[in-house]
Amino acid sequence: MAKIYVIDDESSIRRLIKMIMEEQKHEVTTFATAEEGLKVIEKEPPDLLFTDLGLPEMNGLELIKIVEERLYSFPIVVVSEITIAEAIIEAFKHGICDFITKPFTPTEIIESFEKCYMSTDTLLKKKKEVISFVEAGKNLQASKLVSRLFANFPNSPVPHYLFALLAFSWNKELAKRHLKAALALDPDYKEARELLIKIDSGDEN
Amino acid sequence: MTMPVLNKKKSKGLYIVIFGCGRLGSGIANWLSSKGNSVVVVDRREEAFSSLSFEFTGFTIIGDATELDTLETAKVEKADVVLALTPDDNTNIMTALISKEYFEVPRVIARVYDPNNIDMFSEFGVEIICPTLLAVKEIQNTLGFIGGDEG
Amino acid sequence: MKVFLIGGRNIAYHLARRLLNKGYQVVLVNKDEKLNEGLAKRLKKAIIITGDGSKRHVLEQLEITSKDLFVALTPNDQDNLVASLIAKRVFGIENPLALINDPDNEAAFKKLGIGTTVSPTNILAQAIEERIFKEQITNLIPSFEQIAVFQIEMEEQSPAVGKRVMELAIPRESVIGAIIRAGEAIIPRGDTIIKSGDKLIVLSKPTVQSSVFESLLGEV
CATH number of the domain within which B24 lies: 3.40.50.720
Strand order in the sheet with A98-101: A27-31, A3-7, A48-51, A76-80, A98-101
Q: What is the mean pLDDT of chain A?
A: 88
Taking the C-alpha atoms of residue C119 and residue A102, their distance in angstroms, rounded to an integer, is 31
Q: What is the CATH number of the domain that holds C201?
A: 3.30.70.1450
Q: Specify the DSSP element, H or E, that contains B16.
A: strand B15-19
Residue-number span of the structural domain to which B112 is assigned: 11-146
ipTM above 0.95, yes or no: no
pLDDT of residue A154 exceeding 80 = no
In terms of pLDDT, which residue wins out, A6 or B147?
Answer: A6
In contact, B57 and B80? CB cutoff 8 Å: no
pLDDT of residue A205 exceeding 70 = no
Query: According to the model, what pLDDT value does residue C203 have?
Result: 86
Residue-number span of the structural domain to which C163 is assigned: 133-217
In a domain, C128, yes or no: no
**Residue A96 backbone phi and psi in degrees, to 5:** -70, 160
Residues composing chain C: 220
Per-residue pLDDT tens over the stretch C35-73: 999 999 999 999 999 999 999 999 999 999 999 999 999
In terms of pLDDT, which residue wins out, B68 or C186?
Answer: B68
- Quickly state the pLDDT bin for B146 (edges 50, 70, 90): low
* C114/C157 same-domain check: no
What CATH number was assigned to the domain covering residues A3-104?
3.40.50.2300
Candidates B15, B56, B59; nearest CB to A106:
B15
* C107/C141 same-domain check: no
In a domain, C40, yes or no: yes
- Quickly state the pLDDT bin for A141 (edges 50, 70, 90): confident
Kindly identify which residue of chain A lies nearest to residue B14, measuring between CA atoms: A106
The pairing of beta strand C137-139 with beta strand C148-153: antiparallel
Q: Is the backbone of residue A160 left (phi > 0), alpha (psi -120 to 50) or beta?
A: alpha
pLDDT of residue C144 exceeding 70 = no
Query: According to the model, what pLDDT value does residue C143 have?
Result: 54
Domain segments of chain A: what residues?
Answer: 3-104, 122-204
pLDDT of residue C9 exceeding 70 = yes
Kindly identify which residue of chain B lies nearest to residue C57, measuring between CA atoms: B116
Candidates C57, C86, C102; nearest CB to B68:
C102
DSSP alpha helices (H): ranges in chain C? 10-21, 33-42, 56-59, 77-89, 106-111, 120-132, 209-217
For an interface test with B, give the residue of A12, A15, A17, A100 to mutate (most B CBs within 10 A): A12
Taking the C-alpha atoms of residue B37 and residue B13, their distance in angstroms, rounded to an integer, is 4
Which residue numbers of C have CB closer than 8 Å to B's CBs? 54-57, 76-79, 81-82, 85-86, 89-90, 102, 104-105, 107-108, 111-112
Kindly list the residues from chain A whose CB atom is less than 8 angstroms away from the CB atom of residue B77.
Answer: none
Taking the C-alpha atoms of residue B132 and residue B113, their distance in angstroms, rounded to an integer, is 6
In contact, A27 and A56? CB cutoff 8 Å: no
Any residues with CB less than 8 A from the CB of B85 and at least 6 apart, and which? B18, B19, B20, B22, B24, B25, B28, B92, B110, B111
Kindly state the DSSP code that residue C145 receives in the 8-state scheme. Answer: S
Any residues with CB less than 8 A from the CB of B138 and at least 6 apart, and which? none
User: What fold is seen in the domain A122-204?
Assistant: 1.25.40
pLDDT of residue A180 exceeding 80 = yes
Query: According to the model, what pLDDT value does residue B10 have?
Result: 46
Any residues with CB less than 8 A from the CB of A55 and at least 6 apart, and which? A7, A8, A9, A33, A34, A63
Looking at the structure of chain B, the number of domains it has is 1
Any residues with CB less than 8 A from the CB of C17 and at least 6 apart, and which? C42, C43
pLDDT of residue C208 exceeding 80 = yes
Q: What angle do CA B23, B24, B29 make, to 5 degrees?
A: 100
Q: What angle do CA B31, B32, B33 make, to 5 degrees?
A: 95
